[in-house]
Every structure is written in structure tokens, then in C-alpha cells.
Amino acid sequence: MKNILKDYHTLWKEGKQVKECVFCNIVKTGNNNNEKERNVILYEDDLLLITQATGSPVRGYLMIVIKRHINGFAELSKEELKHVEKLINIIKDFYKKYFYIDSILLEHGSTENGRHPQSIVHAHLHLIPFNFDEEIEKELLTELHLKSIESFENIKINEKLDYWLYCDSKGRYYTSSNIINAPRSIFMNLIAKQINLQLPYEWRKNVTQKEYIDEMIKIFKDNKKFLKNIWLKLYLI
């Protein structure tokens, strides 16, 4: 099976060249290759950008995307991981006040020597203001064989593996390299299951509600105090 090409704007799938990486395209133009739906870059710095998630079933669903074309967050340096985690915590703190709920974090991670069969292979994290019910979270941990790790930085143990990363609403991190037999879009489907949406939930077929996108623009673009707070906490504190 072919590995991911070093070429910044190319992916390979099952040994065949496919169109440009959608996240590389967002980095370049803010567009996700879909003429009917445009990703809005809500925040960016030298390392990463934040955009709303396509086909989101809930409010506030964000993706944190690394700008350079790497396969997973496990390939980042420790300093870069610290930067990402700091940003995550800033947003989670704000979301707790704005949505009155804690957030979860997840990644379908790939690496140069492996291949995640269900994900766009470009490092991106999902940050969602959502709490799994105890029963559904147990199903998630069991299905993916997730094991507890000490911190976000510990995902580097997966540097040469395909992997799952999950952070629960209490800030506890879990990871697993049980990729091949995992149910398709398990995270999205468990969210949909909990809020009684039709299953299986196909995010590719669900256009994000305009009010969700408008709300994210209002939070990030129109809230200068929030953006200033991100900058201050990331670079001055």
C-alpha cells in the first residue's frame, strides 16, 4: 500500500492519485473543493488554522488543522503540541462559558508509515462542545480499545502508527492504534445516536446549517475581545 506523498497538495488512496487534499486547499484559499460549501477560516497562526466542521450535527463543532501537510498530530514536535494544547484549552474555557458545556476532542490520526482507512489524511483535530452519556462513552472506549494516556503530548507514542485520539469532557486523554476494524465514522455516529438523529449519520451528505456557521463567525470574527484573548494567552502568558 502506498504511503502519503511528500507533495504538499497530493493524496494517494488505494494506490491511485486523487484530487488535491481538501485541507491543503483550505489553507491556500479557504475553500474545501466543494463549490456549494465554503469553509471559513475563523483563526490562524503560523502553525494552524481553525474552521467549522463540514456536516456538523451540533453547534460549535470546530476543526483545528495543521497548515503544513503532515499526516497526524503525533508528528508534531513537543513545542508544537504544547502550542496546540494551549489553544485547545483557551477555546474549551470559552466554550464552557458560551455553550454552558464541556468539550470533547478527537482525531483520526495517520502517519507516514501507516494509513487510516476512513479519514482525510492531513492532520486535523475535531473540537466539539458535547458530552457523551456514560453508556455511549463506554461503547466508544470499548469499540476502539482506547487506553488512557497521561497527556496530549503522549500521542507521540503513535508517531509510527495509525491511531485514534480522544479527550473526554473531563480532559482525560485516550489513544488506540486499533484502526482497521473500527466502525466507519464512529465518533459522528455516536453523537448522532445520542441526540436521536437518523443513523448512519453521513456528514458528507449533511450541509452544515448556516446558523451554525454564522454563530462561529460571530464568536471568532466579530468578537475582537475573544481573538485578543487567544493571542495574549498563546504568546504573552
- Domain 22-235, second-level architecture: 2-Layer Sandwich (3.30)
The domain segmentation of the chain, as residue ranges, is: 22-235
pLDDT at res. 49: 93
- Chain mean position to CA 13: 20
What pTM, to 2 d.p., does this model score?
0.82
Q: Mapping DSSP to helix (H, G, I), strand (E, B) and coil, where does residue 125 land? A: strand
Integer angstrom CA distances of residue 116 from 11, 36, 190: 12, 27, 19
User: What is the mean pLDDT of the segment spanning 53-57?
Assistant: 79
pLDDT at res. 174: 95
Task: Tell me the per-residue pLDDT of 125-155, one tens digit each, with 9 for 90 and over.
Answer: 999 999 999 999 998 998 888 999 999 999 8
Task: Tell me the per-residue pLDDT of 89-136, one tens digit each, with 9 for 90 and over.
Answer: 999 998 998 899 999 999 988 766 555 555 678 899 999 999 999 999
Task: Considering only residues 41 and 115, tell me which one the structure prediction assigns the higher pLDDT.
Answer: 41
User: What is the mean pLDDT of the segment spanning 182-197?
Assistant: 83
